[in-house]
Amino acid sequence: MDVYENRVLRLFADRVAALLRRLRCLAARRSDLAASVEALDSELREARRAARFLDEVAVLAVPPARVTMVLARRRDYRAAYDGLLELRRSAVVELRAADLESPIDNLPGLFQTWGTLRVIAVALKLAAVHKWVVTRQRLALSLAGGAVVELLPDGEPVLTFARDGTVLQFIPERTYSHGGPLRAITYEQRPDIAVERYESDGSVAVWILDPKYKLIGDESSGAGRPVKADIDKMHAYRDAIRDAHDTRVVCFAGVLYPGDTEQWGKGIAALRTHPEDIPALEEALQEVLDPAFL
């Protein structure tokens, strides 16, 4: 089953499914679209169940570059091929995240993904300002008809910058254990976002940010204080994560949460992170991350 023509067919089915996911989000705000989107989604799911052989077919990593006799002469395959060409005329950027398939009330996971992407967006702006070069990225993958953005929670850098012998890495779900050049001297530590700067002389500096959809106070208005356990965790990051010489390396550890900004000295903070107040968040993130790019 895993032949070129079936890979084209699966790619088309996957792209249509991605578009329907976007339409479902729109239909949540437009009641007049809900019935039509639901009907289309049901039709696609039924067709996909009837074509279970596509589960054994790999997805094309690049857009289809040749037309075979099957794609040209069989109406069903020709329809899929023509559909892909049509989709390529309007590029789509898709975010792959397991939480997007969950009910909308699963806000903690969605908030973490959104907060991480906001941090990366600010980092890319700062990199351009301070003339850093992206030497490696595992964040975006080009596909036919657009691109896929995915935060891989494997503890590896999704973005690596370099400038004059200095390397800067952005790592979601970074785990600090008892071994390695950077380690945790107590229990294992796993922040949501770690920014690690490696100098040519071997010294290291780390900035940590944890998006947390938790606060004490009024959740509806976003007026509240951070949860004590989350702030205690920031202290743990700062004190426990060290280099091979047992030196503390964390310059900043902060919570991104939907309440009011609070700071405890220069190294510990809770930053207001609210979808209706993005300029304030970007300003705060630039202040926190700018030293990493200087």
Residue 63, SS3 per DSSP: coil
- Judged by DSSP in three states, 74 sits in coil
Beta bridge partners, 198, equal 167, 204
Name residue 235's amino acid. Answer: H
Tokens of residue 148, six digits: 């896929």
- Give residues with Cβ within 8 angstroms of 117, minimum separation 6: 95, 149, 151
| C-alpha torsion angle, residues 47, 52, 55, 59 (rounded to 10) | -40
Tell me if residue 161 falls in helix, strand or coil: strand
Tens digit of each residue's pLDDT (9 = 90 or more) over 61-120: 677 778 999 999 999 999 999 988 887 776 667 787 777 766 666 788 889 999 999 999
**Region class of 173: left (phi > 0), else alpha (psi between -120 and 50), else beta:** left
Burial degree of 107 (CB within 10 A; 0-12, 13-18, 19+): middle
Among 129, 96, 100, 163, which residue's Cα sits nearest to residue 282? Answer: 129
Q: Which alpha helices (H) appear in the chain, and where do they start and end?
A: 4-27, 31-50, 69-73, 75-88, 107-129, 228-240, 278-293
d(CA 56, CA 250): 46
Q: What percent of the chain has pLDDT over 90?
A: 60
**Dist CA 273 CA 270 (whole Å):** 9
Burial of 42 (0-12, 13-18, 19+ CB in 10 A): exposed
Sequence-separated (6 or more) residues with CB below 8 Å from residue 202: none
**Which residue type is seen at 193?**
I
| Sole residue written with tokens 């940590």 | 208
**Distance of alpha carbon 289 from alpha carbon 164, whole angstroms:** 19
pLDDT in single tens digits along all 294 residues of the chain: 899 999 999 989 988 888 888 788 778 778 888 889 889 999 999 999 999 999 999 878 677 778 999 999 999 999 999 988 887 776 667 787 777 766 666 788 889 999 999 999 999 999 999 999 999 999 887 765 567 788 877 889 999 999 999 999 999 999 999 888 899 998 999 999 999 999 999 999 999 999 999 888 765 555 688 999 999 999 999 999 999 999 999 999 999 999 999 999 889 999 999 988 899 999 999 999 999 999
Instruction: Determine the pLDDT at residue 200.
Output: 93
**Contact status, residue 154 vs residue 147, Cβ threshold 8 Å:** no
- Express each pLDDT in 238-253 by its tens digit: 999 999 999 999 999 9
Distance CA 269, CA 112 (A): 17
According to DSSP, the residues that pair with 194 across neighbouring strands are 171, 208
Q: Which residues share a beta bridge with 170?
A: 159, 195
pLDDT of 95 reads 80
Residue 202 CB coordination number (10 Å) = 10
CA 139 – CA 141 distance, rounded (Å)? 7
